[in-house]
Chain A
Amino acid sequence: MIEVRNLTKVYPGAVALDDISFSVAKGEIVGFLGPNGAGKSTTMRILTGFIPPTTGSATVAGFDVVRQSLEVRRRVGYLPENNPLYPEMRVEEYLEFRATLHQLPRSRRAAAVDSALERCSLGDVRERIVGHLSKGYRQRLGLAEAIVHDPELVILDEPTIGLDPIQVRHVREVIRELGRERTVILSTHILSEVEKMCSRVLIINRGRLVASGPLEDIHKFTTTGRTRLDLRGAPSGAREALGKLPGVANVVEVSRGNDRTFFVEPRDGSDVRSEVFRRAVEAKWEVLEMGPERVSLEDAFVELTDRSGPVADALGAAGEKGVGA
């Protein structure tokens, strides 16, 4: 669906994109992740034909975004950042206007508008003036606008920004629904969003692709390999007992009030949870919780975008496999 090769965009005095390559297959929901100013919007603007790249090429559905811009634009639905709309138009009128611009024949226009209104739950505001809508409705109208002409590819730039949790949930539902029959690219700087919606993620920072791969790969790297064990009270000798287990390299003890938490680090990356469990049963420790230690996605993200640390390296390697999948 999308082929991006060595894309570079230089603005006067700033490099927005630095040699980015990736591809997106048909039917994928791809999350474009990165801090503000990383180059997400620039990439999306190039893919929609709004601005040309400085060097490199991009094709959408086999059409070059620069030389066959109109063909690309016919096949793409786009929700730009900040969701610009015409405030003086009415909801239905606006969607009809967009459908006409996308050259939908008159016979199909009304049905297309109705279907977009329904998908985005805008039925009860169809006669309202866009400028009077709440932010949640406006965002949904932006989504409806992006899908009214039934595009093959939907590009959404920060689709949930500035919405309250209920509205966010609704918008996500709509996007997931879209992903069933279409290719979707969405950008965000919220990790949990990618986690909830995307099958694949591209992490971008300062104009460079830092990592890319399926979501499971990213999950793999959010664990540290250590096993976390929460015990009620402070059983004496627990730390030593755990340290003596075969395969355990190191144990860190952290006190939480009257209770204790142990981080058990295995030798050569093996799984020591069974041993830890048996030891706990033998010693009759009161176990509150046990499981792999997780790094929050936020921490993983910070580490990734800093381009240092083991997570970035490992993901980078996994990313090579992920590209073109």
Chain B
Amino acid sequence: MRSIAALVRRELGVYFVNPMAYIILTALMLIFGVMFYSETNTAAQWSRPFTFSNLLGAIAQLMVFVAPLVTMRLVAEEKNRGTIETLMTAPVTEFQVILAKYLATLIFLLYLLLPTVAHVILAGKYGTVDVTETLTGYLGVYLITASLFAIGLFVSTICGSQITAGVITFVITFMLLLTTVLAPMISDANWWGKQLRAVVEALDPFRYLQDFLRGIIDTRPLVYFLSLIVFFLFLSVRALESRRWR
């Protein structure tokens, strides 16, 4: 337990001594600020109700670009620098290392989402914000991003270089984003098409997000996200162990 705490602290430390964390944070705040402005502006112009959930959905989509940046270095960098050797010859298990690295990204994710709360407060000051909807919305964004991070962590574990890990993670997360668009394009005229379309639809994490944004916590999306996370963490542990059976 103490080892995990030490590993988490180190991982988090790395984010904040590198410019990467500040670049991601700044970019995210800038883009989110612009979106917030345009959303409130359109709402005011057409005198339509302003819903914060739309913005949360947009943040979730931005995370497709953020996830590779956050996760690419996790294990690939250790391999590249050779520090994996000092790390894995200390009395820590692969499971502890993967869990610690993942926990660090989860904490870092809190930092990423924290500034957006300012916009919620701002919106609440000049209008009404549905608190439940916003809270479940944040939970949805958090879960979907956590799943993308788990995928990124796994890719980083199997890659030898950060750049490779980043690119591959981006391709995967971007394909997940595209499933929303891709699914309706698959012809369901025959049985095979129908099955394929069902699979692609089932994979779409952003479809599951919709429930959260409407203030609903359904068990299906919870199971989907949690199993995605557990599955990729398990694969990461196995991948890190793989040097033992290669």
* Residues of B contacting A: mostly: helix
Interface check B125, CB cutoff 8 A: no
Stretch in B12-20, B39-47, B101-109, B215-223 touching the partner: B12-20
Closest to B243 in A: A51
Contact segment of A85-93, A189-197, A262-270: A85-93
Q: Is A70 a contact partner of B91 (Cβ separation < 8 A)?
A: yes
Whether B3 lies near A45 (C-beta < 8 A) is: no
Do A86 and B3 touch (CB < 8 A)?
A: no
Identify which of residues 36-88 in chain A touch chain B, using a CB-to-CB cut-off of 8 Å: 45, 48-52, 70, 73-74, 76, 78, 80-82, 84-86, 88
The interface-forming segment of A27-35, A95-103, A314-322 is: A95-103
What is the bound-complex CA distance between A80 and B83, given in angstroms? Answer: 9
Given the complex, which residues of A lie within 8 Å of B82, measured CB to CB?
Answer: 80-82, 84
Please indicate the chain A residues that have their CB under 8 angstroms from the CB of B244 in the complex: 51-52
A158 at the interface (CB under 8 A from B): no
Contact A102 B91, beta carbon cutoff 8 Å: yes
| CA A85 to CA B77, docked complex, whole Å | 12
Q: Does B7 contact A (CB under 8 A)?
A: yes
> What does DSSP make chain A's interface, helix, strand, loop or mixed?
loop
Cα–Cα distance between A51 and B9 once the two chains are bound (Å): 27
Contact call A101/B85, Cβ cutoff below 8 A: no
> Which among A76, A84, A89, A98 has the highest number of chain B CB atoms within 10 Å?
A84
Contact check, B88 vs A50: say whether CB atoms are below 8 A apart: yes
Whether A50 pairs with B85 at a CB distance below 8 angstroms is yes
Q: Does B6 contact A (CB under 8 A)?
A: yes
Whole-angstrom distance from the CB of A301 to the nearest CB of chain B? 27
Q: Given A86-B10, A88-B14, A88-B18, do A102 and B85 touch, yes or no (CB 8 Å)?
A: no
| A48 B10 Cβ-Cβ under 8 A | no
> Which residues of B1-29 have CB atoms within 8 Å of chain A's CB atoms?
2-3, 5-7, 9-10, 13-14, 17-18
Q: How far is the CB of A44 from chain B (nearest CB, A)?
A: 10
B13 in contact with A89 (CB, 8 Å): yes
Shortest Cβ distance from B2 into A: residue: A100
Select from chain B the residue with minimum beta-carbon distance to A72: B91
Closest to A146 in B: B86
Task: Kindly state whether residue A145 has any CB partner on chain B within 8 Å.
Answer: yes
Asked whether A70 lies within 8 Å of B18 as measured between CB atoms, the reply is: no
Question: Which residues of A lie under 8 Å from residue B243 when comparing CB positions?
Answer: 50-51
B18: chain A residues within 8 A (beta carbon):
88
Nearest B residue to A75, CB-CB: B91
The answer to whether B13 and A102 touch across the interface, beta carbons within 8 angstroms, is no
- The answer to whether A50 touches B89, judged by C-beta atoms less than 8 angstroms apart, is yes
- Nearest to B90 among chain A residues (CB) is A101
Are the CB atoms of B92 and A101 closer together than 8 Å? yes
Question: Smallest Cβ distance from A322 to chain B, in angstroms?
Answer: 28
Does B48 count as interface, using CB distance less than 8 angstroms? no
State the CA gap A86–B88 with chains docked (Å). 14
CA distance A86 to B5 in the complex (A): 17
Say yes or no for B93: interface residue by CB 8 A criterion.
yes
In the A-B complex, list the 8 residue pairs whose CB atoms are closest, starting with the nearest: A84-B82, A100-B6, A101-B90, A48-B89, A73-B91, A84-B83, A80-B85, A74-B91
